[in-house]
Amino acid sequence: MNMTAQDDGYITADGRKIGPVMMEMKNITLRFGGVKAITDISFDIREGEIRAIIGPNGAGKSSMLNVISGFYVPQEGEVWYKGAKRPPMKPFQVARQGIARTFQNIALFEGMSVLDNVMTGRLNYMKTNMFQQGLWFGKAQREEVENRESVEKIIDFLEIQSIRKTPVSRLPYGLKKRVELARALAAEPTLLLLDEPMAGMNVEEKEDMSRFILDVNDEFGTTIALIEHDMGVVMDLSDRVVVMDYGKKIGDGSPDEVRNNQDVIDAYLGVAHD
């Protein structure tokens, strides 16, 4: 696999086309009081890529995802998105730029059904004003139908038809993770951020989730950045991997390169050897 920074991208071993850099983090430093969660980290994410962020507990992975999605504001560094430096932004503004995410601890609307949860992912596609909607005018109705259709497609895609009407609070953990992914996908994001999408899942659920992630990337061309602890999954899924430890970047490259990086091996002590 060719990793050199050719600006218009590269072709992966399995024939997928990876485009130019879409998101670039430049010298990001994030502190919480005295704690340095991220220290001077730079890396990029290319169009169409599946990019993994790995590292031991407390390494700063979630913090990095939160910086990308605007939930945390770094003290130093720049975020470049689609060729332009991003001004400081609120999370909702980042979301409106086409960046969707899931959370390590799952943030769903517990009081709503699966369908309603996924529908919220389409809020920014609803354009008619509230009076038209309130009176259910033709345009509002058409819009609602269109949004419903695209949501139903995602629900089919993630194979959660059978729980469409179920209140989210009644679902087991694994399915909640899937619903959260569905909601993120409903926004038709250009960049999808997944914080430990397979945490707490059994082998079968993990296989399903891996398949969904690959399919999303393949069928919708969605760029994906994900955090994952399961090394096997990471090596299978990702095109490139960033490794963090104690807030620092200690490795960046293809799964093979990272696996053979001595700093990474030290940080993981054997996990990378399998």
Partner 1 sequence: MPEQFYWGLEAAFNGLMTGVLYALVALGFVLIYKASGIFNYAQGVMALFAAMTLVGIMEGQVPFSHLINATFGTEVHHFGWHLPAVLGILLTVGVMILFAWVVQKVVFKHLIGQEPIILFMATIGLAYFMEGLGDLMWGSDIKTLKVGLPQGTNMWLDETTYRLFGYGFFINNLDIVATVIAIALVAALVMFSQYTKQGRAMRAVADDHQAALSVGINLNFIWVLVWSLAGFVALVAGVMWGASSGVQFSLSLIALKALPVLMLGGFTSIPGAIVGGLIIGVGEKLFEFIVGPMVGGATENWFAYVLALIFLVFRPQGLFGDKIIERV
Ligand X SMILES: Nc1ncnc2c1ncn2[C@@H]1O[C@H](COP(=O)(O)OP(=O)(O)OP(=O)(O)O)[C@@H](O)[C@H]1O
Residues 77-106 that bind Mg ion (CB under 5 A): 104
Using the contact rule CB under 8 A, the part of the chain among 31-39, 102-110, 153-161, 211-219 near partner 1 is: 102-110
Q: Is 58 in the site for ligand X (CB under 6 A)?
A: yes
Tokens found for residue 268 = 């993981």
Contacts of 155 (CB under 8 A, 6+ apart): 114, 115, 118, 161, 164, 182
Among 10, 80, 109, 137, binds partner 1 (CB under 8 A): 109
Using the contact rule CB under 8 A, the part of the chain among 56-64, 103-111, 197-205, 265-273 near partner 1 is: 103-111
* Amino acid at residue number 163: I
Q: Output helix, strand, coil percentages for the chain, rounded to the nearest 5.
A: 40, 25, 35
Q: Is 249 in the site for ligand X (CB under 6 A)?
A: no
Among 64, 119, 151, 213, binds partner 1 (CB under 8 A): 119
Q: Is 103 in the site for partner 1 (CB under 8 A)?
A: yes
Q: How far is the CB of 250 from ligand X (least distance, A)?
A: 13
Q: How far is the CB of 170 from partner 1 (least distance, A)?
A: 14
Nearer to ligand X, 187 or 193 (CB): 193
Q: Angle 168-170-173 (CA atoms, 0-180°, nearest 5)?
A: 80
Contacts of 23 (CB under 8 A, 6+ apart): 44, 45, 68, 79, 80, 81, 82, 191, 223, 225
Q: Is 133 in the site for partner 1 (CB under 8 A)?
A: yes
Question: Residue 54 class from Cβ within 10 Å (0-12 exposed, 13-18 middle, 19+ buried)?
Answer: buried
Q: Which of 23, 38, 35 is nearest to 74 (CA)?
A: 38
Question: Contact positions toward partner 1, by CB under 8 A?
Answer: 69, 71, 90-93, 95-96, 100-101, 103, 107-112, 116, 119-121, 123-124, 126, 128, 130, 133-134, 136, 183-184, 187
